[in-house]
Chain A
Amino acid sequence: MYFRFGKGLQIQLRHSSKAVRSQLRWNSTTKLIKPIASTQHPFLVKPVTPHESYVSCTIFNEKGDVTAVSHKFPKWEFLQKYGLYPRDLRKIDSSTIDVIPSFVIKPKCILVNVLHIKAMIQKDKVFVFDTTNPDAAIKLGVLMYDLESKLSQRNINYQGKSVSYQENYEHRALESILINVMTCLETEYKYHHSVCGMILNDLENQIDRDKLRDLLIKSKTLTAFAQKSVLLRDLLDELLESDEDLAGMYLSEKKHPDADDHSDLEMLLETYYKQCDEYVQQSESLIQDIKSTEEIVNIILDANRNSLLLFELKVTVYTLGFTVATLVPAFYGMNLKNFIEDSNWGFASVVGLSVAAAAVVTITNMRALRSVTKLTLLNNHTGANNKKHLANAKLALDKEIPTFWDRWLTSARVLWSGREVLYKDGSKRDMIWKWLVDDDKK
């Protein structure tokens, strides 16, 4: 009996019991495996509704075949049969919130609860508990395929002869689960990396409030991801530290708790510990990047505000000048007798007077503005009395607030010879850029 799966996997259901077959055929609500034409929804573990007195799970036998799909056990019976306590199942049962992953090692089984996977591993059986969360159910579907292929594997053929690095059944199941979890973390990390990296890159080029908000929202999920991976790493680390737990994880060949010989399991866990550590480090560095970007963006915004303020001040200075110029004409504009109405020089002299007053006030105020900016430029730096520093400060000042005279000169120059064009020597820049990049990569 062959079924074709979404990704072209072909799995033979060799030992499917009658019950499974009938379920496959008739029970349309709980499907694990669905025949062809399911490209839209290739993952077919359905979320279950939680029930008080039942545990529902998918069971793999020692050959890696699925013997039951979403099989429901009465909870009490299940607990008694496998020597568990109700508290062991609590996390698996009411799992609306679970952040902290755990491995519970019992004499006859290992209870695994990492991310979306909740499973019980025995020496010849794997129970994967069904989940109530639809997202997790989709991910769990992938695990099913994986477990099936991994558990059914006996040994690897190498050039005709079979080479056995025989791993125990329970370790194969554990590895399969860990691979699934790591791949999940990797996928998630890649997503975060691409999204956050894009926003960070954008922010380098242009600062935008929307982008900043996006970054903050993304950094929240990223922090959650980092926490998840840190917890998982710590769990694996703890497990590796305790010899007793490691010995307890050999279900098919009982090891003495004091036995120190569990290097194969240790190597297995260590590999995934290292991998998890990688994700932790990478996400930490991403978070660090976000933090430094935030800080510097803050500074840039501050600097921007200052230049806005400066511009506003300049506007105020000119407004003040105009107001001064308005004052005298306003007095002469009153409908009162002012004794110069009939003289020929009245108009010219009043206008001249007010313009002169306006010019004096504006120039004085500009000078005040210049001196304030200059003081802040000079006083707050380490090399305050340096010649170089003074020259630099003057340069910056001239750029920010040119003097009246300078302004006249530049505008005259522009009028005379047209606007200056800065020629960009592209090849030279490219060369230097290349040099920097090459050196960087060495």
Chain B
Amino acid sequence: MLFIRQLSVIPKAPAFAKFFHTAGLVRQKLSDPNHLAILLQKNLAQRNSSLYNPELETIRCTIFDRHGNMQKPSIDLRRDELIHTHGLLPRDLRKVEKSRRNDLVPSVLVRENSILVSILNIRALVKSDMLILFDSMGIKLDSVSQQNFIADLQLRLQNRSGFEVPDVVNKDPLPYEFRAVESIFISAISNLNAELKVHLNVSTGILQDLEYSITRDKLRYLLIQNKKLSVFHKKSFLMREMIEELLEQDDVLCEMYLTEKQLGKPREEHDHAEIEMLLETYYNHVDEIVQTVGNTMSNIKTTEEIINIILDSNRNQLMLLGLRFSIGLLSLAGSIFIASIYGMNLENFIEEGNVGFPVVSTLGVILMAYLFAFSVKHLHKLEKVQLMSHGKSSTLK
């Protein structure tokens, strides 16, 4: 509960207001078909210039050489250089564009002599003797996860153990490209795991809090958390799908043996046990994450339903109580009515009699009692009908 309350101070930066402003403008503009077309043309012009005039744009990348040494500092490569030296097509580089930073769908594209990997926020070009890591993707280069990733990548590509043990033992038998791919997968999955942990913590906290009392604040956090979880689920689910699809395509898996292709001995079909095992391991990891997230999501769903039931039954109880009070009010009002009749300053013919007061008061009290008894009986009947609606439906009248 503590951190939920803390969360409530979401920084409301002026950027937020700006966003509203621009969004409003966009909405206003888009109502006009002409503006829509202008927007479209702008997008297209940009796209085309990046597709057909590749020399105009540069991409910032970090390069690892054959021995796993990172070239420092990272350099700007021109698109056309990249395309022509590595035998790519211009459209292959679209995933690297800045505007696709928030893409959900991961992909592993296998080309003639390279593998283009785009998973979460890692975009890389893997070759048999080189790894190009595109770092124009808006990741903070000094973040912990990025540093871990680069260190791991270096270690793995150098293919040496950190200890003073004979190399033969610790050397990874996998070729360069698979080591790179594995490192990328490891980083991606550890990132997913970290995110999963945060999501799980936050959601279980909210759900537990909701057990005790239902307030608007908590429901709001549940909503925010729900959205985040569904995006995360989609992300991991798509990654699982991607790996599964890759595993099903024998020819693509064979194509991934870049080093052996380079040496002129491509793999036979069905002979790809190493990469298959590698991918399967990570498939299992991602599958676990997907299952856990799915579980949490269904938990949230169940909690939502339970909350609904609680609220409904609470409402019913309250309404019943309210009816009782109203019945009391009604009967009181009945006797007050009679009292008020005799309270008028008009001739009522019994003013001077001695029995007038006791008779009228008793009458009022009797009327009150009768009204109360009648209404309560009726209410009880209705309650009973609610519980067993069939069979005794005649009592409704």
B55 contact set on A, CB distance < 8 A: 158
Return 27 A-B CB contacts under 8 Å, by A number.
A194-B26, A271-B92, A278-B100, A278-B104, A281-B238, A285-B230, A292-B223, A303-B215, A303-B311, A306-B311, A306-B318, A330-B336, A330-B340, A334-B343, A336-B357, A376-B310, A393-B213, A395-B213, A396-B213, A426-B9, A429-B7, A433-B7, A433-B11, A436-B202, A440-B195, A440-B228, A441-B143
Closest to B316 in A: A376
Residues of B in contact (CB 8 Å), total: 110
Which of B91, B211, B226, B313 is within 8 Å of A292, CB to CB? B226
Q: Is the Cβ of A442 less than 8 Å from the Cβ of B145? A: yes
- Most chain B CB atoms below 10 A, which of A268, A296, A319, A433: A296
Query: When A299-B304, A335-B343, A337-B352 are in contact, do A393 and B212 touch as well, CB less than 8 Å?
Result: yes
Q: Is the Cβ of B51 less than 8 Å from the Cβ of A429? A: no
Which of A313, A338, A392 is within 8 Å of B325, CB to CB? A313
A277 on the interface (CB 8 Å rule)? yes
Extra contacts, 9 of them, besides A324-B332, A330-B335, A433-B11 (Cβ < 8 A), are: A156-B80, A158-B84, A163-B84, A267-B89, A281-B238, A334-B339, A335-B343, A375-B317, A442-B191
Q: Is the Cβ of A373 less than 8 Å from the Cβ of B314? A: yes
Q: Is the Cβ of B38 less than 8 Å from the Cβ of A304? A: no
Listed in ascending order, the chain A residues whose CB lies under 8 Å from chain B are: 7, 40-43, 134-135, 138-139, 141-142, 145-146, 149-150, 153, 156, 158, 163, 165, 175, 179-180, 183-184, 186-187, 191, 194-195, 197-198, 200, 204, 267-268, 271, 274-275, 277-278, 281-282, 284-285, 288-289, 292-293, 295-300, 302-306, 309-310, 312-313, 316-317, 319-320, 323-324, 326-327, 330-331, 333-339, 365, 368-369, 372-373, 375-377, 380-383, 389, 392-393, 395-396, 424, 426, 428-430, 432-433, 436, 439-442
Which of B84, B325, B345 is within 8 Å of A335, CB to CB? B345
Q: Is the Cβ of B41 less than 8 Å from the Cβ of A281? A: no
Query: When A281-B234, A442-B143, A442-B191 are in contact, do A302 and B308 touch as well, CB less than 8 Å?
Result: yes
- Most chain A CB atoms below 10 A, which of B226, B306, B352, B360: B226
Q: Is the Cβ of B27 less than 8 Å from the Cβ of A274? A: no
Min CB distance, A85 to chain B, in Å?
33
Query: When A165-B89, A326-B336 are in contact, do A372 and B360 touch as well, CB less than 8 Å?
Result: no
Min CB distance, B291 to chain A, in Å?
18
A135 contact set on B, CB distance < 8 A: 33, 36
Q: Is the Cβ of A389 less than 8 Å from the Cβ of B321? A: no
Which of A183, A197, A320, A338 is within 8 Å of B44, CB to CB? A183
- Most chain B CB atoms below 10 A, which of A299, A305, A327, A389: A299
Closest to B5 in A: A429
Which of B3, B20, B41, B336 is within 8 Å of A432, CB to CB? B3
Q: Is the Cβ of A320 less than 8 Å from the Cβ of B325? A: yes
B315 contact set on A, CB distance < 8 A: 302, 305-306, 309
Q: Is the Cβ of A296 less than 8 Å from the Cβ of B222? A: yes
Closest to B321 in A: A372
Complex interface residues of chain B between 335 and 382 (CB less than 8 A to chain A): 335-336, 339-340, 342-345, 348, 350-354, 356-357, 360-361, 364
Which of B48, B339, B356 is within 8 Å of A337, CB to CB? B356
B56 contact set on A, CB distance < 8 A: none
A338 contact set on B, CB distance < 8 A: 357
Q: Is the Cβ of A320 less than 8 Å from the Cβ of B317? A: no
In the complex, the 8 A-B pairs of residues with the closest C-beta atoms, listed nearest first: A330-B339, A334-B342, A392-B212, A396-B213, A138-B37, A336-B356, A296-B223, A376-B314
Q: Is the Cβ of A183 less than 8 Å from the Cβ of B304? A: no
Q: Is the Cβ of B222 less than 8 Å from the Cβ of A195? A: no
A337 contact set on B, CB distance < 8 A: 351-354, 356-357
A293 contact set on B, CB distance < 8 A: 223, 227
Which of A138, A195, A441 is within 8 Å of B33, CB to CB? A138
Min CB distance, A312 to chain B, in Å?
7
A142 contact set on B, CB distance < 8 A: 37, 40-41, 44
B23 on the interface (CB 8 Å rule)? yes
Min CB distance, B41 to chain A, in Å?
5
Min CB distance, B211 to chain A, in Å?
5
Which of A186, A278, A331 is within 8 Å of B361, CB to CB? A331
Listed in ascending order, the chain B residues whose CB lies under 8 Å from chain A are: 3, 6-11, 19-20, 23, 26-27, 30, 33-34, 36-41, 43-45, 47-48, 51-52, 54-55, 80, 84, 89, 91-92, 94, 100, 103-105, 107, 143-145, 191, 194-195, 198, 202, 211-216, 219-220, 222-224, 226-228, 230-231, 234, 238, 304, 306-315, 317-322, 324-326, 328-329, 332-333, 335-336, 339-340, 342-345, 348, 350-354, 356-357, 360-361, 364
A319 to B34, CA, bound (A): 62
B216 contact set on A, CB distance < 8 A: 300, 303-304
Q: Is the Cβ of A183 less than 8 Å from the Cβ of B84? A: no
Closest to B30 in A: A191
A338 to B43, CA, bound (A): 92
A183 to B47, CA, bound (A): 8
Min CB distance, A333 to chain B, in Å?
5
A433 contact set on B, CB distance < 8 A: 6-7, 9-11
Query: When A194-B23, A195-B27, A323-B333 are in contact, do A336 and B9 touch as well, CB less than 8 Å?
Result: no
Which of B39, B52, B228 is within 8 Å of A156, CB to CB? B52
Which of B3, B37, B320 is within 8 Å of A43, CB to CB? B37
Min CB distance, A223 to chain B, in Å?
17
A339 contact set on B, CB distance < 8 A: 357
- Most chain A CB atoms below 10 A, which of B44, B54, B104, B220: B44
A323 to B337, CA, bound (A): 12
Which of A336, A395, A440 is within 8 Å of B351, CB to CB? A336
Query: When A134-B33, A187-B43 are in contact, do A309 and B92 touch as well, CB less than 8 Å?
Result: no
Q: Is the Cβ of B44 less than 8 Å from the Cβ of A179? A: yes
Q: Is the Cβ of B44 less than 8 Å from the Cβ of A372? A: no
B350 contact set on A, CB distance < 8 A: 336
A381 to B320, CA, bound (A): 21
Query: When A274-B105, A278-B105 are in contact, do A334 and B332 touch as well, CB less than 8 Å?
Result: no
B342 contact set on A, CB distance < 8 A: 334-336
B321 contact set on A, CB distance < 8 A: 313, 368-369, 372
Min CB distance, A210 to chain B, in Å?
15
Min CB distance, A192 to chain B, in Å?
10
Min CB distance, A31 to chain B, in Å?
16
Query: When A135-B33, A146-B48, A274-B107 are in contact, do A440 and B198 touch as well, CB less than 8 Å?
Result: yes
A284 to B23, CA, bound (A): 21
A197 to B345, CA, bound (A): 68
Min CB distance, A180 to chain B, in Å?
7
Which of A141, A274, A278, A334 is within 8 Å of B360, CB to CB? A334
Query: When A274-B107, A313-B325 are in contact, do A139 and B37 touch as well, CB less than 8 Å?
Result: yes
A297 to B216, CA, bound (A): 10
Closest to A290 in B: B227
Which of A149, A156, A194, A289 is within 8 Å of B230, CB to CB? A289
Min CB distance, A274 to chain B, in Å?
6
Query: When A284-B234, A330-B336 are in contact, do A184 and B40 touch as well, CB less than 8 Å?
Result: yes
A7 to B46, CA, bound (A): 12
Q: Is the Cβ of B104 less than 8 Å from the Cβ of A285? A: yes
A436 to B322, CA, bound (A): 44
Query: When A316-B329, A365-B325 are in contact, do A153 and B52 touch as well, CB less than 8 Å?
Result: yes
Which of A139, A204, A320 is within 8 Å of B224, CB to CB? A204
A204 to B238, CA, bound (A): 27
Q: Is the Cβ of A439 less than 8 Å from the Cβ of B230? A: no
Q: Is the Cβ of B47 less than 8 Å from the Cβ of A179? A: yes
